[in-house]
Amino acid sequence: MKSKDERDSDCRIFPPAVELNVQTNTIVLEISYHSTRPNIISRSDWAARRPSSVRNLAQDPAPFVLIHHSDSDSCTTQAICQAKNYHMDNKSWEDIGYNFLIGEDGNIYEGRGWSKHGSHSRPYNSKSIGICMIGNFNHHNPNAAAIKAVQDLIEYGVSLGKIQENYKLFGHRQTTQTTCPGDSLYQLIQTWPHWSVPRVEFSVRILHLILGYIILSRMVSLSRGPWRPSQIPHVHQDNPTAKCAINNRELIHSSVLLKTYLQSP
């Protein structure tokens, strides 16, 4: 999960390599992704435990890339980054949740790796590559080394056929209720090529509007009776006001639902 203030430096991510070929007095521009393998620290090198189970992505190559931050202190040396990864890995999960993690030492740490089902953001776990930037990036962006590592990793994934060339890039907060990947980093990734708005954001908001309308309509209907919540009598089948009492109890329940709705994203 992430965020840092190098946004004005030359950190525009994912520019493709431009190659010039001269053929019979004609200049041909070829757009290609770098195929050079970036510096990836393997699981064994950073002492990751063996996963309890392994699942493959349902969609491979992955059509989505999700950016996270760890919401913790940053790391600038390999030893510190390895220690942080080891700590994150000691949870009750079947494996570390991310496909890759990136430290401000410029290294890429292998999590679940390519083509593997993650545990970082429903419902994208089965069709995305989750990349976690180690640090808290609410108020500043990752340093240049970390940003370059993201660039190299995604380009390498495309060149390997592990990420679709027309992939869509999201911040974690676009797929669930969270502040991840941090306010600053989230602003930064919106300037990157392939950043997109998930269709689920629109469908969820439409669902919220419909639910809110239903709840408000129910509250208006129930509030027209002669009783108010403070006047609810003991409910008994012989009590002629029992029906009104029950309606007002439903009104209270609707109020709770509305409060929950208003607090939802």
Domain CATH number, residue 109: 3.40.80.10
How much is the pLDDT for 9? 29
The total number of structural domains in the chain stands at 1
The answer to whether position 151 is within a domain reads: yes
Rounded to an integer, what distance in angstroms lies between the CA atom of residue 112 and that of residue 126?
A: 12
Closest C-alpha among 96, 174, 83, 81 to residue 134: 81
Is residue 150 pLDDT above 80, yes or no?
A: yes
**pLDDT tens for residues 161-184?**
999 999 999 999 998 889 999 999
- Domain membership of residue 64 (yes or no) is yes
Is residue 159 classed as helix, strand or coil in its secondary structure? helix
Average pLDDT, the chain: 74
The predicted structure's pLDDT at residue 139: 95
Q: Is residue 134 part of a domain?
A: yes
Percent of the chain with pLDDT over 70: 62
Q: Which domain holds residue 121?
A: 40-190
Cα–Cα distance measured from residue 131 to residue 171, given in angstroms and rounded to the nearest whole number: 10
Q: Which residues contact 80 (CB under 8 A, 6 or more apart)?
A: 103, 105
Mean of the pLDDT values across residues 244-257?
Answer: 52
pLDDT for 96: 83
SS3 44: coil
Residue 11 resides in a domain: no
Q: pTM (2 decimals)?
A: 0.63
Question: What interhelical angle do 199-222 and 242-263 show, nearest 10?
Answer: 150
3-state secondary structure of 69: strand
Residue 211 is encoded by which pair of tokens? Answer: 């639910």
Which span out of 115-124, 160-169, 229-238, 255-264 was modeled with the highest average pLDDT? 160-169
**Cβ(38)–Cβ(150) under 8 Å?**
no
DSSP helix, strand, coil percent of the chain (3-state; round to 5): 35, 20, 50
User: Is 54 within the bounds of a domain?
Assistant: yes
In a domain, 179, yes or no: yes
Whether 195 maps to a domain, the answer reads no
**How far is CA 245 from each of CA 29, 37, 185, 257, rounded to the nearest angstrom?**
76, 70, 52, 19
Element (H, E) at 80: helix 78-89
Q: What are phi and psi of 121, to 5 degrees?
A: -170, 105
Whether 18 maps to a domain, the answer reads no
